[in-house]
């Protein structure tokens, strides 16, 4: 995915009206607020984890898992979540992560996994903050170092705080709710954009287009991954999606045209090489065999031997005429070459066959 993204970015950057860097890398991007959420895909019975920037809506991390494996092993589910968050925190310092719809694939009345949600807030990155959202109506029994905020009738937000540093807890809760409300608006915008991009993946036949351009064949087949190209590239290249696709299709056509021209050149070159090989038999310095116009037309030696339609020719081989002491009449097309590959075959008289000189 990353290699294909870099390849396409460089193509589009070279055609952009805005001056862009020739190097595409996620490492140079600095984020302050990151949204992580899980999304169930019923068609494949998988759950996708997304990590994207709340401001630019750029996806920088994606992973999918089989649902059946996770819901039968709650410990494994939480370990997968921890690993996903840890990788994000390791690459981004001093950020706030909003983990939306935590444990959405788990039965709503399962308290065990939700009671242990606070463990996600204990990841060893003190300069960063994690806020976990989950569907739950009642207060959880968790340590006092964690704050629970009811952000809606059936939705709860959980975060770690230092109560001794907060002078007005109610005001702090109000501030957090306002922040969450803004995140909700950004997330809705992202989901709408994601669904549009997923439909465009099939409309534009994006996987086939990328393979034809980049020659990278091991691209993921899931449209959820391919949609990342249509989410990220327009933002990095400052180009609309439709214009970007049009440029990539034109680039593909130019590749095909260039490949066709190169194949034609190669075919011409191969033809010349074959022609040189075919003519090599006539380059023997001792016996230079070339067609020579004779005095009259006679039957071709090769045509007579092959028992096919016998053609007459007025051309003879001057070198063979001197060697065999007879007129070796031959058609100047294929017969001339066939005769010199095995002269003995086409000389009928025994007395002449003995004198036949075999040339390879």
pLDDT tens column, 44-86: 999 999 999 999 999 989 999 998 888 788 888 889 999 999 9
Look at residue 287 and tell me whether its pLDDT is greater than 60.
no
In a domain, 37, yes or no: yes
- Residue 209 pLDDT level (bands cut at 50, 70, 90): very high
Question: Last residue of a domain, which of 252, 276, 306?
Answer: 252
Same domain assignment for residues 332 and 214: no
Please state which of the ranges 82-86, 104-108, 208-212 shows the lowest mean pLDDT.
104-108
Same domain assignment for residues 149 and 204: yes
Q: Which residues are 159's β-sheet partners?
A: 131, 147
Same domain assignment for residues 245 and 289: no
DSSP state of 329: B
Same domain assignment for residues 125 and 178: yes
The dihedral through the CA atoms of 132, 90, 56, 15 has a sign that is negative
Domain interval for residue 314: 285-355
- Rounded distance between C-alpha atoms, residue 87 and residue 61, angstroms: 9
The whole-number pLDDT of residue 249 equals 92
The whole-number pLDDT of residue 39 equals 93
- Rounded distance between C-alpha atoms, residue 260 and residue 142, angstroms: 68
Same domain assignment for residues 90 and 175: yes
* In the chain, % of residues over pLDDT 90: 31
In a domain, 230, yes or no: yes
Report how many domains make up the chain.
2
Helix and strand element counts for the chain (H, E)? 13, 9
Same domain assignment for residues 227 and 152: yes
Same domain assignment for residues 199 and 339: no
* CA-wise closest residue to 279 among 287, 289, 269: 289
What's the token pair of residue 70?
A: 């996770």
Same domain assignment for residues 202 and 309: no
The whole-number pLDDT of residue 356 equals 42
Please state which of the ranges 38-42, 202-206, 268-272, 279-283 shows the lowest mean pLDDT.
279-283
| C-beta separation of 140 from 158 below 8 A | yes
Question: Last residue of a domain, which of 231, 252, 273?
Answer: 252
Q: Exposed, middle or buried: residue 213 (CB in 10 Å: 0-12, 13-18, 19+)? A: middle
In a domain, 148, yes or no: yes
**Strand 46-53 to 96-102 pairing:** unpaired
Same domain assignment for residues 51 and 162: yes
From the centroid of its chain, how far is CA 170? 51
In a domain, 276, yes or no: no
In a domain, 275, yes or no: no
| C-beta separation of 142 from 113 below 8 A | no
Q: Give residues with Cβ within 8 angstroms of 124, minimum separation 6.
A: none
Kindly report the backbone phi and psi dihedral angles of residue 293, in degrees, each rounded to the nearest multiple of 5, phi listed first: -70, 120
In a domain, 266, yes or no: no
Same domain assignment for residues 302 and 224: no
Q: Exposed, middle or buried: residue 59 (CB in 10 Å: 0-12, 13-18, 19+)? A: buried
Averaged pLDDT score across all residues of the chain: 83
* In the chain, % of residues over pLDDT 70: 87
Same domain assignment for residues 247 and 294: no
Please state which of the ranges 239-248, 275-284, 304-313 shows the lowest mean pLDDT.
275-284
Look at residue 349 and tell me whether its pLDDT is greater than 80.
no
pLDDT tens digits, 158-197: 898 887 778 888 888 899 999 999 999 999 999 999 999 9
Question: b vs e for 23-36, b when ≥16 Cβ sit within 10 Å of the residue's Cβ?
Answer: ebebeeeebebbbb
| C-beta separation of 231 from 194 below 8 A | yes
In a domain, 61, yes or no: yes
Query: Vertex 317, ends 319 and 354: CA angle to 5°?
Result: 65
From the centroid of its chain, how far is CA 293? 63
In a domain, 279, yes or no: no
The residue length of the chain stands at: 360
Look at residue 206 and tell me whether its pLDDT is greater than 50.
yes
Region of 14 (left: φ > 0; alpha: ψ -120 to 50; beta: rest) is alpha
pLDDT tens digits, 298-322: 888 888 887 668 888 888 888 888 7
- Residue 355 pLDDT level (bands cut at 50, 70, 90): very low
Same domain assignment for residues 242 and 316: no
- Residue 29 pLDDT level (bands cut at 50, 70, 90): low
- Rounded distance between C-alpha atoms, residue 237 and residue 20, angstroms: 7
Please state which of the ranges 143-147, 282-286, 331-335 shows the lowest mean pLDDT.
282-286
DSSP state of 209: H
Q: Which residues are 63's β-sheet partners?
A: 49
Question: b vs e for 312-331, b when ≥16 Cβ sit within 10 Å of the residue's Cβ?
Answer: ebebbbbbbeebbeeebbbb
- Rounded distance between C-alpha atoms, residue 244 and residue 295, angstroms: 72
The whole-number pLDDT of residue 268 equals 75
């Amino acid at each position: 995915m990353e290699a294909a993204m870099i390849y396409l970015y460089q193509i589009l950057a070279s055609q952009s009206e805005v001056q862009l860097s020739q190097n595409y890398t996620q490492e140079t991007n600095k984020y302050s607020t990151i949204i992580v959420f899980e999304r169930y895909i019923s068609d494949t019975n998988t759950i996708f984890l997304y990590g994207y920037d709340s401001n630019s809506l750029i996806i920088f991390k994606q992973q999918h898992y089989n649902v059946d494996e996770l819901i039968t092993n709650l410990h494994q589910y939480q370990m997968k979540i921890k690993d996903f968050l840890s990788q994000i925190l390791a690459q981004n310092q001093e950020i706030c992560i909003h983990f939306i719809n935590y444990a959405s694939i788990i039965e709503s009345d399962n308290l065990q996994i939700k009671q242990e949600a606070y463990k996600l807030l204990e990841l060893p990155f003190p300069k960063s903050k994690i806020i976990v959202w989950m569907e739950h109506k009642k207060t959880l029994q968790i340590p006092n170092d964690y704050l629970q905020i009811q952000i809606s009738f059936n939705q709860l937000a959980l975060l770690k705080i230092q109560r001794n540093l907060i002078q007005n807890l109610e005001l702090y809760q109000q501030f957090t709710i306002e922040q969450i409300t803004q995140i909700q608006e950004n997330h809705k915008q992202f989901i709408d954009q994601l669904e549009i991009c997923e439909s465009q993946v099939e409309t534009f036949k994006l996987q086939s287009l990328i393979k034809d351009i980049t020659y990278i064949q091991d691209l993921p087949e899931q449209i959820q991954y391919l949609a990342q190209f249509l989410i990220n590239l327009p933002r990095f290249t400052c180009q609309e999606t439709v214009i970007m696709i049009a440029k990539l299709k034109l680039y593909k056509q130019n590749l095909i045209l260039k490949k066709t021209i190169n194949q034609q050149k190669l075919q011409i070159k191969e033809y010349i090489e074959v022609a040189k090989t075919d003519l090599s038999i006539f380059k023997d310095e001792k016996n230079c065999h070339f067609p020579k116009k004779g005095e009259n037309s006679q039957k071709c030696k090769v045509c007579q031997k092959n028992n096919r339609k016998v053609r007459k020719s007025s051309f003879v081989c001057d070198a063979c005429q001197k060697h065999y002491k007879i007129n070796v009449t031959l058609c100047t097309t294929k017969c001339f070459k066939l005769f010199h590959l095995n002269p003995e075959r086409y000389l009928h008289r025994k007395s002449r066959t003995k004198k036949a000189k075999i040339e390879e």
